[in-house]
């Protein structure tokens, strides 16, 4: 069993908005305006790497909208598992927003919600054991 670990994340897209930014290097940059607002706060875990999309691991934070650039250190509460391997790590209370999160992904992506242990194990499988968590400069 993998010991629960906290992960550092940064919000790139606030719940309820269409304006999306992207983490590049060590800053947030404008990315695009999405056709529909995000049902959850969306971002990434800097310093991690998902080979499925060759970018940082994606993360979602459930709960109240968070400002773009918000940095959060927390333990995962779930893993949004997708058939294409571009999984999303879930943080926050797994309540009503989970239905909206799952519905956000088209059926062909096969979105299913796994538990916190699966999230930790997947993240640990991607992380180099000697790599410390990155330090993110304040926005």
**Structure tokens of 90?**
């879930």
The answer to whether residue 12 sits within a structural domain is yes
What is residue 57's predicted lDDT score, i.e. its pLDDT?
96
Q: How many domains does the chain have?
A: 1
The answer to whether residue 45 sits within a structural domain is yes
Q: How many CB atoms lie within 10 A of CB 71?
A: 15
The answer to whether residue 136 sits within a structural domain is no
Q: Are 90 and 104 in contact (CB under 8 A)?
A: no
- Distance from C-alpha of 26 to C-alpha of 8, rounded to nearest angstrom: 13
The answer to whether residue 135 sits within a structural domain is no
| Domain containing residue 24 | 7-126
The answer to whether residue 26 sits within a structural domain is yes
Q: Are 107 and 99 in contact (CB under 8 A)?
A: no
**Structure tokens of 131?**
């790599």
Upper half-sphere CA count for residue 38 (Cβ side, 13 Å): 26
- Distance from C-alpha of 66 to C-alpha of 131, rounded to nearest angstrom: 28
The answer to whether residue 121 sits within a structural domain is yes
What is residue 136's predicted lDDT score, i.e. its pLDDT?
57
The answer to whether residue 67 sits within a structural domain is yes
What is residue 96's predicted lDDT score, i.e. its pLDDT?
72
Per-position pLDDT tens, the chain of length 139: 556 799 999 999 999 999 999 999 889 999 999 999 999 999 999 999 999 998 999 999 999 999 999 999 999 999 999 999 999 999 999 887 888 899 999 999 999 999 999 999 999 998 654 444 455 555 5
What is residue 3's predicted lDDT score, i.e. its pLDDT?
65
The answer to whether residue 138 sits within a structural domain is no
Q: Residue 40 is part of a domain; what is its CATH number?
A: 3.90.80.10
Bridge partners, residue 51, by sequence: none
């Amino acid at each position: 069993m993998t010991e629960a670990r906290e992960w550092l994340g940064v919000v790139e897209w606030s719940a309820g908005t269409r304006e999306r930014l992207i983490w590049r290097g060590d800053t947030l940059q404008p990315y695009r305006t999405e056709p529909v607002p995000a049902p959850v706060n969306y971002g990434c875990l800097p310093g991690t790497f998902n080979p499925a999309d060759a970018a940082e691991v994606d993360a979602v934070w459930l709960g109240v909208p968070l400002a773009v650039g918000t940095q959060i250190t927390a333990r995962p509460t779930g893993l949004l598992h997708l058939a294409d391997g571009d999984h999303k790590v879930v943080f926050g209370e797994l309540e009503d927003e989970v239905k909206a999160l799952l519905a956000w992904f088209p059926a062909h992506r096969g979105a299913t919600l796994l538990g916190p242990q699966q999230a930790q194990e997947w993240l640990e499988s991607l992380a180099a054991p000697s790599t410390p968590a990155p330090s993110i400069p304040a926005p």
